[in-house]
Chains A and B, each alone.
Chain A
Amino acid sequence: DAKTTQPPSMDCAEGRAANLPCNHSTISGNEYVYWYRQIHSQGPQYIIHGLKNNETNEMASLIITEDRKSSTLILPHATLRDTAVYYCIVRSRTGNQFYFGTGTSLTVIP
């Protein structure tokens, strides 16, 4: 199963775009990239997912490189409520198991 690598922590100024990178160099052609976030001691919250094309929803945008070996989650206008741990996950090719990496702790600064 593909593994993901994320920076352990990042800061972002309130109102600015937060760009969270993820490396998944061993991803295979049929594996999706998912992003979740977890605010302290709550359950993980789904943000967005994609396969090849860039995706956008009301929460965020997902940019996947052409070779699919990395992706970036973009929160366009970060707020204090976006402070959380963000997980990039490549879903197992054998089923719908999620194997979480260590994630990025994003702190939005006033």
Chain B
Amino acid sequence: DTEVTQTPKHLVMGMTNKKSLKCEQHMGHRAMYWYKQKAKKPPELMFVYSYEKLSINESVPSRFSPECPNSSLLNLHLHALQPEDSALYLCASSQSIGASDTQYFGPGTRLTVL
């Protein structure tokens, strides 16, 4: 089973709202990732977690706050977002951050900020 699940599939929020995106995997993977993808553009890496610790933050604004409560779960907390943050948010996982570890992606959450 190489499934990564993400909820919700779609999310509409106002600029003053607080919401969270959820990602889950049950493959025993110890590395998890958040990517952001704008329309007609490739995915851009946001965060990398390794063994539940944040190992990479690609200079993402603080209105995006990741959390990894356990090895199977990854959250992305959203607060005071801007309309330009509207995008497809993708989660991925891999066995580790070591060499040749394949990343498996979830279906994404389509976020619209009004």
Indicate whether A and B interact: yes
Say whether, besides A41-B110, A100-B42, A95 and B97 are in contact (CB < 8 Å). yes
- Interface 9-mer from A10-18, A44-52, A67-75: A44-52
Q: A101 within 8 Å of B by Cβ?
A: yes
Least CB distance from B112 to A in Å reads: 13
Q: B102 within 8 Å of A by Cβ?
A: yes
Say yes or no: B55 contacts A95, CB within 8 Å.
yes
Least CB distance from A19 to B in Å reads: 21
Size bin of chain B's contact surface: 20 to 34
- With the chains together, A42 CA to B100 CA distance in Å? 23
Size bin of chain A's contact surface: 20 to 34
A49 proximity list for chain B (CB < 8 A): 100, 102
B4 proximity list for chain A (CB < 8 A): 43
Q: B residues bordering A, Cβ < 8 Å?
A: 2, 4, 31, 33, 42-45, 48, 55-56, 88, 90, 92, 94, 96-108, 110
Q: A residues bordering B, Cβ < 8 Å?
A: 30, 32, 34, 36, 41-46, 49, 51, 87, 95-103
Q: What are 8 of the A-B contact pairs (CB < 8 Å)?
A: A30-B99, A44-B92, A44-B105, A49-B102, A95-B97, A96-B31, A98-B43, A98-B103
B107 proximity list for chain A (CB < 8 A): 42-43
Say yes or no: A32 contacts B99, CB within 8 Å.
yes
Say yes or no: B96 contacts A103, CB within 8 Å.
no
- Return the contact of B108 from the options A30, A32, A41, A103 (Cβ within 8 A): A41
- Return the contact of B96 from the options A44, A96, A98 (Cβ within 8 A): A96
B99 proximity list for chain A (CB < 8 A): 30, 32
Least CB distance from A85 to B in Å reads: 8
Say yes or no: B88 contacts A98, CB within 8 Å.
no
Say yes or no: B48 contacts A43, CB within 8 Å.
no
